[in-house]
Amino acid sequence: MARSKASAPAKAAFTTPNPTQSEVTINVFDGTRKAFVSGKNILYRITDGKQNQILLKEVPEASLTAKGLPFYDNAGDNYSILVSADKYGQAGFFPVKLSPQQPVTLDLMLVPKDPQLNFADAKWDTIEAQLPFLSAGIGDAAGEQRYEDAMENKPKSLASLLNLTTAMKQIFLPQGTPLDYLKQMIWDDTFAQDRFFAWCGPALIDQVKAAEAQGNFAREPAPWLFHPGSTSSWKQIQFGEANVQLTFHENNTQKIGGQQCVMVEPDIDYYKDLGAHTLLEVLPNDVTHGLSDPVTVYVLRWIAGRRAGIPEFNPPYTIV
């Protein structure tokens, strides 16, 4: 009896990318860093680099995949993507470089227009263990009292502190992170919603200079214009937005634990570009006597980190 031949295995289907089209998936999260509430309408807007609006669509979904977007093989592929929702702010990213070779995923965050700060995960015992410089020089009890006073009376300043220390923990210098060099918090009126001051070991300056040589920081020219009394300053250049800036006041010193320390002023700018920073952040704030908003910093830094593919920016508080 003749044996039947085994049929050849079916070949896997393979789809060749359309060389004239691109694809992007947009995922929307809320201020708790979880997927945006299901069933609430989100307006998605996609504009190409030629300023043509390619998509304007409102759907009750926290994720949208846009296919068939034009590919130009030039600056026209630098897309801007925006999302918004009723009673929430707007979030977006630019440039989102699209190509037929690989679909792109973009994660964005929407927070309420009237945001509330939730510090449920920022209890003193946990924070003090992670940030011992907060109680250095004053003791645990006084440190806890000042921390809880800030939570009650200066919540935006506390949010800024948690933003900054979380971001600094993610900066890897040739030796350690900037947090490793902070010796003592300066608890006075300089503690604001956009910065704090502390005493640090002078080796931090050398570490930042080494990071500059590696292309991770850039020296800021004439930092005393925006930071009175400062002598030197460097800004992280890893992201397009929400980079940490470390400004040093080397004429202000204090001996701590037998070491002569210098004053450091960490803050986060909205914009990487100095011109944009001046026109869009510093000048409006000077006119209104306002300060950079820690909620905006939280959103920008989270989005920038997701876009860069680094571990999630996760301060121990949320926005609801």
Q: Does the structure show a pLDDT above 60 at 258?
A: yes
- The residue with greater pLDDT, 241 or 11, is 241
Q: Taking the domains of the chain in order of start, what are their residue ranges?
A: 21-109, 117-319
Per-residue model confidence (pLDDT) at position 289: 45
pLDDT-derived band at 287, boundaries 50, 70, 90: very low
Tokens of 301: 């830094």
pLDDT at residue number 273: 56
Find the Cα–Cα–Cα–Cα dihedral 31, 35, 36, 41, rounded to 10°: 160
Q: What is the pLDDT of residue 291?
A: 78
| 278 has a pLDDT exceeding 80 | no
Q: Is there a cis peptide before residue 316, judged by omega within 30 degrees of 0?
A: no
Residue range 240-265: average pLDDT?
96
Stated pTM of the model: 0.89
Note the pLDDT of residue 269: 82
Q: How many CB atoms lie within 10 A of CB 70?
A: 16
Q: Which of 318, 285, 284 has its CA nearest to residue 302? A: 318
Name the pLDDT band for 17 (thresholds 50, 70, 90): low
pLDDT of residue 52: 97
pLDDT tens-digit map of 171-180 = 999 999 999 9
Q: What mean pLDDT is predicted for residues 73-86?
A: 96
Q: Give the Cα separation of 245 and 48 in Å (integer).
A: 32
CA distance 63 to 61: 5
Residue 314 to residue 121: CA distance in whole angstroms: 11
Average pLDDT over residues 111-132: 97
In the DSSP assignment, the letter for residue 144 is H
Tell me which residue of 28, 40, 18 sits closest to 105, measured CA to CA: 28
Q: Sign of the CA dihedral 276, 235, 110, 96?
A: positive
The fold for domain 21-109 equals: Immunoglobulin-like (2.60.40)
